Amino acid sequence: MPRWRKLGRVFDPASVGGRPWLKSFAQAPAALICDDVVRMYFSCRPDADANGQYVSYSAYVDLDRSDLFRVRAVAEEPILPLGGPGTFDEFGVYPVSVIRTGEAVRAYYAGWTRCVSVPFNTAIGCAVSHDGGRRFARLGPGPILPYSPDEPFVMSGPKVRRFGDTWYLFYIAGSLWKRVEGRAEPVYRIRMATSPDGLTWTKANRDLIPPRIEADEAQASPDVFEADGRYHMHFCYRYSAGFRSRERGYRIGYAWSTDLVNWTRDDARCGIDVSEEGWDAQMISYPHVFTVDGRTYLAYLGNEVGRGGFGLAALDGALD
């Protein structure tokens, strides 16, 4: 049975100065393996504006490949500016998943727009970098995976992978907005789309992971990798109400598959949980698995969905 051995918090946004757009949060870590560093992308926020509204940017921190707790550099500016007036990503670029394709690096991200009856809506966009993943440019002003009649809102959490000749985009889609103590809270489930080129996508049009803790369970951050003849998915889930508490906050779940379509959920095998105390004692969420120099790591968020940064755990034992 796999076990993730916690190594500690790697990056705290509070340690960075001189960047007014990076004041708090280091959400949804995503790794790009480079020659001498592991470039970890994350999403962050400046202080709220005069109306108490936030925006989200995405950036990166370069971790020394031989010592992932040694920060070599932090992005001087966001990897992508916010979208223009009226666009789907006018108010946020979060979260981001990156992948190499030839000499370029692609970023798949959720773009945020503000709404009136509910706080926000999101769709999935794509941008390309030709300088090794420092700066990205949009493919266009619109999303590549918008909401649709069967997925009407909150298209978010993209995680892109290639298996064989096929591109896979695991993401979440909203199923309902739930009114909780006068506040609209989204419920979303994990879905998948496939593509021959990473640009034109065919949706599977079905939820991949059944709910476990309640019918309105919200799921996010579906990260899939292949090992020992199986596909392994780590994701996070929470209750639809009261999830800002330790008892009902985000936890990491696990599922496996042999065909990427049919999944068996087995959270008891996820191998990681909240700590007794400290930066990840309230919740853990947004898992991302990557392998570098023969070791497999899981990056994840701690309390308040990453307000204080992200940490790493190392895989002890095999996934079977």
Torsion angle defined by CA atoms of residues 57, 235, 5 and 62, in that order, rounded to the nearest 10 degrees: -20
Find the CATH number of the domain harbouring 253: 2.115.10.20
DSSP letter for each residue of 191-228: EEEEESSSSS-EE--S-SS--SS-TT-EEEEEEEEEET
How many domains would you assign to the chain?
1
Classify strands 37-45 and 57-64 as parallel, antiparallel or unpaired. Answer: antiparallel
Domain limits at 284?
Answer: 3-316
Identify whether the C-beta of residue 174 lies closer than 8 Å to the C-beta of residue 119: no
Identify whether the C-beta of residue 75 lies closer than 8 Å to the C-beta of residue 58: no
- Comparing C-alpha atoms, which of 243, 194, 196, 203 is closest to residue 219? 243
| Whole-number Å distance between alpha carbons of 213 and 190 | 15
CB atoms under 10 Å from CB of 183, counted, come to 10
Q: What predicted TM-score, i.e. pTM, was given to this entire model?
A: 0.96
Classify strands 202-203 and 183-195 as parallel, antiparallel or unpaired. Answer: antiparallel
Give, for all 320 residues of the chain, the pLDDT tens digit: 568 999 999 999 999 999 999 999 999 999 999 999 999 999 999 999 999 999 999 999 999 999 999 999 999 999 999 999 999 999 999 999 999 999 999 999 999 999 999 999 999 999 999 999 999 999 999 999 999 999 999 999 999 999 999 999 999 999 999 998 888 999 999 999 999 999 999 999 999 999 999 999 999 999 999 998 899 999 999 998 777 777 788 999 999 999 999 999 999 999 999 999 999 999 999 999 999 999 999 999 999 989 999 999 999 877 66
